[in-house]
Amino acid sequence: MILISISAPDPAFLIKPTIILPEYRTVSEGYSSLVIPCYAEGIPVPSITWESLDKSSIPFNGKQLAHFLVFTNVSRIDGGHYMCTAKNKIGTDIKVVHVIVREKDEKQIAPLIDAPSTVQVKYYSEGRLRCNVTGYPTPLVKWKHNNNVVQSSGNTLVINRVTNSTTGTYTCIATNVAGTSQANIQLKVTYDVPKIITPPVTSVIMGGHSHNFTCIATGHPEPNIKWTYKMYIKHTTDMPSHQMYNHGSELTLYLMNTQESGQLTCTAKNEF
């Protein structure tokens, strides 16, 4: 007798798993049957596994059937976070669903948002936008920036470095089973144009000596200091032998001679 094993050939191309799963499901206590599907696409077809993130195992009245998580006679203990894992030979995808179990007579309250209409932040500083959200069950909060979805959730959105590209309209969207509410916050940037408060002073330098010059400027973002020089006799803009300190606010000209007399100019500049 000869045993021949034949396996299916690998597909011509492979696709990592992608899960489609709602972020939360709300159900009343005592509900006869709660069925949560975890749909996953991929080639080869992914295997599906359900786990509880809050408990050591799925409650006794819950079980996995194929790609479904099924609860019978739902009770308060079934509430929590459940993780679906889809896996095939080239990758894994994971999604989590929050199961909310409410009491039979529990009152639902639609989300209500309290948020400022405008927030002003200095250029390059950190921006924090906050929506104070109330409602029951606890609303899920998402954000948009100029109608584009922001990869962030929660009542507070942090913009690490505010620039012109991060300003605009931010929308806080709060949702629960009782409804949806949203509020717009305008993020504006403030800045200060450079202003020289300590200009370099006209000086008479003995031949062969060095001299220090100072140019201090304010502004936000902090301005860059640039020095230029125009010699009277040589008719050149070459800077004499020099060295700068303190981010350019101090300049030393070395071993000046009479041929190098000229006009020294300090310029302060930032993005504005």
Q: What is the pLDDT of residue 193?
A: 87
Is 271 or 119 the better-scoring residue by pLDDT? 119
The tens digit of pLDDT for each residue in 81-131 reads 999 999 999 999 999 999 988 877 667 889 999 999 999 999 999 999 999
Res. 1: pLDDT tops 70: no
Q: What is the pLDDT of residue 180?
A: 92
DSSP secondary structure of 101-166: EE-TTPPPEEEEEE--SEEEEETTS-EEEE-EEEEESPPEEEEEETTEEEEEESSEEEESS--GGG
Q: What is the pLDDT of residue 105?
A: 66
Please tell me the distance from the alpha carbon of residue 142 to that of residue 166, in angstroms, as a whole number: 17
- SS3 per-residue string spanning 164-226: HHHCEEEEEEEEECCEEEEEEEEEEEECEEEEEEECCCCCCCCCCCCEEEECEEEEECCCEEE
Please tell me the distance from the alpha carbon of residue 203 to that of residue 211, in angstroms, as a whole number: 9
Cβ–Cβ < 8 Å for 243, 217: no
Q: What is the pLDDT of residue 3?
A: 46
Cβ–Cβ < 8 Å for 89, 73: no
Q: What is the pLDDT of residue 31?
A: 86
Q: What is the pLDDT of residue 272?
A: 73
Q: What are phi and psi of 183, to 5 degrees?
A: -145, 145
Task: Please list the alpha-helical segments (H only) found in 35-97.
Answer: none
Q: Would you give the distance in Å from CA 221 to the centre of its chain?
A: 21
What kind and span of H or E run contains 15? strand 15-20
What domains does the chain contain, in order, with CATH numbers?
A: 15-102 (2.60.40.10), 125-190 (2.60.40.10), 193-269 (2.60.40.10)
Band (232; pLDDT cuts 50, 70, 90):
confident
Residue 235: both structure tokens together: 């008719």
Q: What is the pLDDT of residue 106?
A: 67
At CA 222, angle to CA 220 and CA 225, rounded to 5? 135
For residue 71, the cross-strand partners are 34, 62
The tens digit of pLDDT for each residue in 123-171 reads 999 999 999 999 988 899 999 999 999 988 789 999 999 998 999 999 9
Res. 12: pLDDT tops 80: no
Please tell me the distance from the alpha carbon of residue 238 to that of residue 240, in angstroms, as a whole number: 6
Q: What are phi and psi of 164, to 5 degrees?
A: -60, -35
Q: In this structure, is the dihedral angle defined by the CA atoms of residues 158, 159, 161 and 167, taken in order, positive or negative?
A: negative
The tens digit of pLDDT for each residue in 47-91 reads 999 999 999 999 999 999 999 999 999 988 999 999 999 999 999
